Chains A and B, each alone.
Chain A
Amino acid sequence: MSSKSNAEAYWSANIRLMTILLVIWFAVSFGAGVLFADALDSIRIFGFKLGFFFAQQGSIYVFVALIFIYVWRVNKIEREYDVHED
């Protein structure tokens, strides 16, 4: 494969990965923490109502995890398409 088509294949794999992670990003924060927070509040985990938990705690934990998952996956994709640095 030429480096140009490699770069294009890498780019679409990267976009796919980003889309999946951003859907999760949206679901935990705007989904669970805002839009469906009232419905989720009927479920309780220890002292927390679930919607409240996502709004003030859970979504932040997921954000941190999402970035590290992206770092790990995209580093693999870069090597796969041979576009990584040195």
Chain B
Amino acid sequence: MSVLTWTWILVGLSFALYIGIAIWSRVGSTKDYYVAGGGVHPVANGMATAADWMSAASFISMAGLISFMGRDGAVYLMGWTGGYVLLALLLAPYLRKFGKFTVPDFVGDRYYSDAARLVAVVCALFVSFTYVAGQMRGVGVVFSRFLEVDVTWGVIIGMAIVFCYAVLGGMKGITYTQVAQYCVLIFAYMVPAIFISLLLTGNPLPQLGFGSTLADGSGVYLMDKLDGLSTELGFAAYTAGSKSTIDVFCITLALMVGTAGLPHVIVRFFTVPKVRDARKSAGWALLFIAILYTTAPAVASFARVNMIETINGKDGSGQLYAEAPSWISNWEKTGLIKWEDKNGDGRMFYAKDDRNEMTIDRDIMVLANPEIAKLPNWVVALVAAGGLAAALSTAAGLLLVISSSISHDLLKKVVMPNISEKQELLYARLAAAVAIFIAGLLGIYPPGFVAQVVAFAFGLAAASFFPVIIMGIFSKRMNKEGAIAGMIIGLGFTTAYIVYFKFISPESNVAANWWLGISPEGIGVLGMVFNFIAAVVVSKLTAPPPADIQDLVEHIRVPRGAGGAVSH
């Protein structure tokens, strides 16, 4: 069977599964809609969190990024996993004990202030919309490349599927589809990785193959081979970094605290029955994530060796274009790979210096990897189903945050507190439907700045939510004035820095101009530090929080007495 037939079969089966789950998990109460009734098993929640967290970027783009960055790619590997340690130790159990529905709920109640609640709602909406635009775009790209459907139709099909289970099933529908999506995406990621590891190193575990010798009998370690190829072609050695140490440090930390502060991740821990389940669930989530995240750097290195050897030929003299494998011309159609025969010898060549004749998009490293390694058609088709699972699961989690921010935090808590539960649920579904529509539009007509604003999402979460929640739990003395001052300073500083380098003066976005050598990707760390300093100073100068708030802090620190999540 052809790749196209296989892809329709696998994608069709996975979509039928998601819709089946949506019908089975329809909900009728706000508690079911916002937190799945608070009865999700910690292992299931861990799996759902993993799917929620691993987006189109993790599945499609990350290995490619690492492949081109070498050791510096570790900023994503450590940055997008280390935050779970912070979540499990510092945030999840206490927010679960607090027992409300959303992150703005915590900020608003702990700091007894609707102003703080509104700042949190605006941040949550901004972060979630930024993120969801990228997911819908990922859906469109997968459809157009693998199913030969127009991007617009791809996005519309994706919207219809998400609509089914997010609007009908709310958090309950999302949770159980995410469990299924995790299984699909991890299978789709691991199968080609295992195949390629076997072919290249003879070791079926990619994590071990990564550190093994090549299977061609030369006895050379894969990493040494890659270092050799890289330096020969004018690149930095693969295992040496080229970013400055302070920048690597700051980007990694910004991604970690950003992860721990992202509302769609935090809210997943409101769905488990007990405080200790919240901690355990974070452990399972990270374990499930680590399976992909420890495979990704191995895939990155395998793909790079394969790609260089395919394009430059085994002997390094360049592959004749006329005899090149079919994946090159397939991907040329999508514009992800380009060849320009500069020296007119009819051979392709890839290098860092002026011998280079190739333009290669990073995303190709995962999408085309099975074809590059000449794997069977059904494996190639799996990648499409996996990429769609990753994009749809993350999109659904974000849409729920958007919907609850509007129906619960904005309408119920601020604008019209007297609405009934039925009305609130109706508004939640309406908000989700509108959000899906907007996300779809962003996917069909992607604004040019999507890639630039991703740094924003993490920077803002790091500079706003993380410090405010941490101080809300670990300091009884922190008051409303301190928290608001901290958020404004942290957000203001981070926003100004990123807007300046990404939008106002993008040509000056080079290391020499950065403050302390920190890139806009890592600046959320300084924003966070300023947030902490401002909050502590202002809170010392103003009155301590009321006694009932101090009691609330004591209450959330101790596990005993946690009920289900409640709305009032």
Q: Which residues of A contact B (CB under 8 A)?
A: 7, 10-11, 14, 18, 21-22, 25, 29-30, 33-35, 37, 41, 45-49, 52-53, 55-57, 59-61, 63-64, 66-68, 70-71, 74-75, 78, 83-85
Contact = CB atoms under 8 A, between A and B. Distances in A.
B468 interface: no
A60 B276 contact: no
A18 B91 CA distance: 12
A14 B249 CA distance: 28
11 contacts: A21-B89, A30-B252, A34-B248, A52-B223, A56-B74, A60-B290, A60-B294, A61-B294, A63-B81, A83-B559, A83-B560
B249 A34 contact: yes
Contact of A22 (B89, B240, B248): B89
Contacts of A55: 71, 74, 77-78
A37 B240 CA distance: 9
Interface in B61-108: 66, 71, 73-74, 77-78, 81-82, 84-85, 88-90
The contact size tier of chain B is 35 or more
Given A7-B557, A37-B71, 4 more contacts: A29-B82, A41-B240, A55-B71, A68-B283
Contacts of A75: 276
Contacts of A53: 211
B498 interface: no
Given A7-B558, A29-B78, A74-B279, A35 B249 contact: yes
Contacts of A25: 82, 85
Contacts of B560: 83-85
B557 A30 contact: no
A83 B558 contact: yes
Contacts of A35: 245, 249
A52 B240 CA distance: 8
A18 B71 contact: no
B250 to A, nearest CB: 10
Contacts of A68: 283
Contact of B90 (A18, A60, A63, A71): A18
B239 A61 contact: no
A37 B89 CA distance: 26
Contacts of B85: 21-22, 25, 63, 66-67
Contacts of A66: 85
A22 B88 CA distance: 11
A60 B245 contact: no
